[in-house]
């Protein structure tokens, strides 16, 4: 088993942290995992992405050109990665930030109004958790419970009051399940 996941969006959307959360969850499941960020001269508001590879054997390349799944948190990320998702892969799209149709077929497209759900929950910073919930509900890689456990164990102590909200956001996202078309 090997799954490659690219999470992409604006800096500040929690792209790197969601990837790390996946990596922690995979590590706690005794799987091999690599996390690698784009680390160009970037800043808040610029684009950011990270690649997470999860496998049951020693991982070769930590970078991929055809990922099993992509979370596109904004329009530039969708434009960049839509065509790269592997056939039968998963494309999770933050519908709140996208003003166009999805062109790809042969993959599972999961359209999630991430910003709206996060705002309903009362905190826009939850968007990344909503989308990561949607990812795990559609990609056979890790149980949602592993993600919840990782969040409890690796969310910085000062943010622990936000735990219930994060868990709720993951659940809300996980309700979005679609089929390959």
Stretch that binds another protein, among 18-26, 70-78, 98-106, 163-171 (CB under 8 A): 18-26
Q: Judged by CB, which is closer to another protein: 48, or 97?
A: 48
| Distance from C-alpha of 134 to C-alpha of 73, rounded to nearest angstrom | 12
Question: How is residue 166 written in tokens?
Answer: 């994060």
Q: Judged by CB, which is closer to another protein: 38, or 178?
A: 38
Collapse the DSSP code of 105 into the 3-class scheme (helix H, G, I; strand E, B; otherwise coil) and give the result: coil
Does residue 66 bind another protein (CB under 8 A)?
yes
Does residue 152 bind another protein (CB under 8 A)?
no
Q: Could you give the string, one character per residue 25-44, with x where binding to another protein holds by CB under 8 A and - elsewhere?
A: --x----xxxxxx-xxx---
Q: Where does residue 64 fall: left (phi above 0), alpha (psi -120 to 50 degrees), or beta otherwise?
A: beta
Question: How is residue 79 written in tokens?
Answer: 């434009």
DSSP 25: H
Question: How is residue 61 written in tokens?
Answer: 């390349």
Stretch that binds another protein, among 55-63, 72-80, 103-111, 129-137 (CB under 8 A): 55-63
Catalog residues that contact another protein under the rule CB under 8 A: 20, 23-24, 27, 32-37, 39-41, 58-66
């Amino acid at each position: 088993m090997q799954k490659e996941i690219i999470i992409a969006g604006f800096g500040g959307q929690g792209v790197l942290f969601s990837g790390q959360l996946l990596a922690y969850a995979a590590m706690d499941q005794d799987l091999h995992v690599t996390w690698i960020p784009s680390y160009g001269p970037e800043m808040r508001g610029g684009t950011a992405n990270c690649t997470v590879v999860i496998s049951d054997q020693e991982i070769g390349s930590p970078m991929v050109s055809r990922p099993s799944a992509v979370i596109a948190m904004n329009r530039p990320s969708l434009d960049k990665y839509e065509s790269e998702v592997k056939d039968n892969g998963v494309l999770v799209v933050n519908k709140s930030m996208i003003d166009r149709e999805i062109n790809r077929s042969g993959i599972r497209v999961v359209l999630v109004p991430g910003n709206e759900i996060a705002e309903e929950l009362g905190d826009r910073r939850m968007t990344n958790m909503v989308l990561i919930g949607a990812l795990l509900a559609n990609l056979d890689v890790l149980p949602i419970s592993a993600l919840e456990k990782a969040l409890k164990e690796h969310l910085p102590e000062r943010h622990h009051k936000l735990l219930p909200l994060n868990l709720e956001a993951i659940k809300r996202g996980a309700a979005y399940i679609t089929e390959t078309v």
